[in-house]
Structure 1
Amino acid sequence: MTLPSQMRGLLLVGDGYTRTPSAAALEAMEPYLEPGSIAVPAPGPTQALIKVSLASINPSDIAFIKGQYGQPRVKGRPAGFEGVGVVVATGDDPYAKSLAGKRVAFATGVSNWGAWADYAVAEAASCIPLIDTVRDEDAAAMIVNPLTALAMFDIVREEGEKAFIMTAGASQLCKLIIGLAKEAGFRPIVTVRRDEQIPLLRDLGAAHVLNEKAANFEAVLRETMKAEQPRIFLDAVTGPLASTIFNAMPKRARWIVYGRLEAEPTVIREPGQLIFQHKRVEGFWLAEWMRQFRDRLGLAVLEAQKRFSDGRWSTDVTAVVPLDEAMARLPDELAKPNGKVFIKP
């Protein structure tokens, strides 16, 4: 196959990290990205070059382009951590070569050749050959949210308590976890910001859906914590909301932070709880989990594909935005609730 010499992409304007915190919302693209044309990259020995069919947008992508993620930006390279496409070239590694011509879900990781472009580079080990019954919309979001959902629900299972609590309850990730919990007989408690999200999440299997904006939120939260006694708190928000929830939780509670949607500082209201109630705060990063639990990764990938293929899981789509329209449209599309936004080269 003859490849073009140039490709389109949404290229990073900044380099490295920034020390200026900001909220997770993307107000405009221009401070962080610019459209451009660059040379099509060549894959390294253990890598694959993928012609991108669809690329997803996650909160981690927004944190990354703002310089607030755990990976430095490289100015002039495309952004975008995951997508779906067809492998059009590979390095000489035997496994990489076995992917040639296959449709794969992929994560770009530290390759610094992101998915918001015509072509992306990923390590072959970060490519998942797909079964035909998995839609592109599900495949493009196959890695970050599904694997995080399976990994974090394993934490819930291992803790043993049936009830657990999550912020950002209407997110795609939380919806996946709610589905897992319902099947296993667990009782997820979730927070939302809009009343209209409550019936949807109850129908999916949430035991309690609390509107954090309600006047009686703290009172209802305390009652729910007393009744359900959740030990695990999966938090994508941080800030005052998370502090309030953690403060209301029972002894031996674990606050597991995997995102930061709130720019406000996060405060431990009563540090004595860490000492005398044996509460603790920890982080979850999927990349680290994948390195630490390689023995679980293959089974998790297989389980995610099965769930998307048989309809137990499905990605809610807000919009599919052509690459050439992304600079103008993405901020408005990302502001809409309840679904994912994709970029189509």
Structure 2
Amino acid sequence: MDLQPRIGKSLPVGTEGAGTVVAAGANAVELIGKTVSAMGGGMYARFRRLNAAQCTVLPTGTSAQDAASMFVNPLTALSMVETMRREGHNALVHTAAASNLGQMLNRICINDDIPLVNVVRSEEQVKSLQSIGAKYVVNSSAESFFEDLTAAISATGATLAFDAVAGGAMSDTILRAMEAALGASQAAFSRYGTSTLKQVYIYGSLNPEPTVLSRTYGSSWAVARYLVLNALQKFGDETTRALKDRIVRELSTTFASSYKGTLSLSDVVNPEFAKEYARKSTGSKFLVNPSL
């Protein structure tokens, strides 16, 4: 990544956060003293000025800590399901499925009766997801990964995947497994492969290497970048509000987040802490508390 354009320019950080309203304009004085959550950017600060419309008022008794991660992961998980429905798919494949987001998506799919294939990278993570009700969990480090993935896709009929890995052959493997599952049920052979659309959206970059595609997935497939903000723009205000309302209702259940620890703003710029929270591994999510 070329960082030259960044030199000498301010870059506020912190996509989302929550806190108590301490001051407000004349049209929002009723918010003073209430706990709100917002996704306004520049949230790693002791005080943040926002438009009242950007704030979601939380139910009485909800702590700022409980609502600090209320938007990005929950909205991303819900937007994946909404995208599935809008694009005519019936099941999902999700990589890095043991993450906070992956666990949320698993709970959503269980509640909404949506078949979900969870891809993880260890047997420990397989057992962890199975313990919270996941039915289809496959281990990408197992020698039988492709066969296991194909079997799970065949059982669920998944033709849509969200890949947080991006680099290497993960997206390619998913598409090949989809094609193998569809081809096994195809009555007649076609030199062009299957014609059912197989879609992979890349929404993360756990592996920074180039994405490798073998293009052996039949006559209808696609790989595209996915960003939750772009998806919400397509959905429109009414759908986005409905998704946020669901998050508020299920904040302590479906969308509950867990943290490895809490950091102050000075901790965030400490190289030793940075090494820890920058790790791309399950269970390395930290809460930032600017008041410390």
Range of TM-score over shorter length: 0.7 to 0.9
User: Aligned-pair distance for 1:133?
Assistant: 3.7
The match for 2:2 is 19
Change over 3 Å in CA distance of 1:107–1:129 after alignment to 2: same
Q: How does 1:88-103 map to 2 (within 5 A)?
A: 88-90=22-24, 94=27, 99-103=31-35
What letter corresponds to residue 186 of structure 1 in structure 2? I
The match for 2:245 is 302
What letter corresponds to residue 239 of structure 2 in structure 1? R
- Does the 8 A contact of 1:171 with 1:339 survive in 2? no
Q: Structure 2 length normalisation: TM-score?
A: 0.81
**Which whole-Å CA distance do the structure 1 matches of 2:30 and 2:9 have between them?**
32
The match for 1:288 is 230
**Which whole-Å CA distance do the structure 1 matches of 2:122 and 2:62 have between them?**
31
The match for 1:128 is 56
**Which whole-Å CA distance do the structure 2 matches of 1:208 and 1:186 have between them?**
11
The match for 1:253 is 198
**Residue 86, structure 1, aligned to residue 86, structure 2:** no
Change over 3 Å in CA distance of 1:138–1:246 after alignment to 2: farther
**Which whole-Å CA distance do the structure 2 matches of 1:287 and 1:80 have between them?**
15
**Residue 106, structure 1, aligned to residue 67, structure 2:** no
More deviation in 225-234 or 299-308? 225-234
What letter corresponds to residue 294 of structure 1 in structure 2? D
**Which whole-Å CA distance do the structure 2 matches of 1:97 and 1:297 have between them?**
25
Equivalent of 1:269, from 210, 214, 218? 214
Per-residue Cα deviation, 1:258-315 (whole angstroms, up to 9, x for no partner): 2222101012211x64xx5321223332222333311112211111011014x34321
SS in 1 for 2:201: strand
The match for 2:182 is none
SS in 2 for 1:308: coil
The match for 2:112 is 184
Q: How does 1:42-191 map to 2 (within 5 A)?
A: 75-90=9-24, 94=27, 99-109=31-41, 114-159=42-87, 161-191=89-119
Which ranges of structure 1 fall in alignment gaps of 5 or more residues?
1-17, 21-65
**Which whole-Å CA distance do the structure 1 matches of 2:7 and 2:247 have between them?**
29
What letter corresponds to residue 227 of structure 2 in structure 1? W
User: Aligned-pair distance for 1:162?
Assistant: 4.3
Change over 3 Å in CA distance of 1:123–1:280 after alignment to 2: farther
Per-residue Cα deviation, 1:105-150 (whole angstroms, up to 9, x for no partner): 11124xxxx1222223444332211112434333100111111111
Percentage of pairs with the same residue: 28
Equivalent of 1:193, from 99, 117, 121? 121
- Does the 8 A contact of 1:105 with 1:127 survive in 2? yes
SS in 2 for 1:268: coil
What letter corresponds to residue 206 of structure 1 in structure 2? A
Q: Aligned pairs, how many? A: 269
Structure (1 or 2) with the greater strand fraction: 1
- Does the 8 A contact of 2:117 with 2:153 survive in 1? no
SS in 1 for 2:207: coil
**Which whole-Å CA distance do the structure 2 matches of 1:73 and 1:230 have between them?**
44
Change over 3 Å in CA distance of 1:290–1:199 after alignment to 2: same
- Does the 8 A contact of 1:134 with 1:308 survive in 2? no
Change over 3 Å in CA distance of 1:312–1:167 after alignment to 2: closer
Which ranges of structure 2 fall in alignment gaps of 5 or more residues?
180-195
**Which whole-Å CA distance do the structure 2 matches of 1:137 and 1:253 have between them?**
39
Q: Structure 1 length normalisation: TM-score?
A: 0.70
What letter corresponds to residue 296 of structure 1 in structure 2? T
User: Aligned-pair distance for 1:227?
Assistant: 3.5
**Which whole-Å CA distance do the structure 2 matches of 1:291 and 1:157 have between them?**
16
Change over 3 Å in CA distance of 1:321–1:218 after alignment to 2: same
Q: How does 1:193-342 map to 2 (within 5 A)?
A: 193-239=121-167, 240-250=169-179, 251-270=196-215, 273=217, 276-292=218-234, 293-309=236-252, 311-326=253-268, 327=270, 328-335=272-279, 337-338=282-283, 340-342=285-287
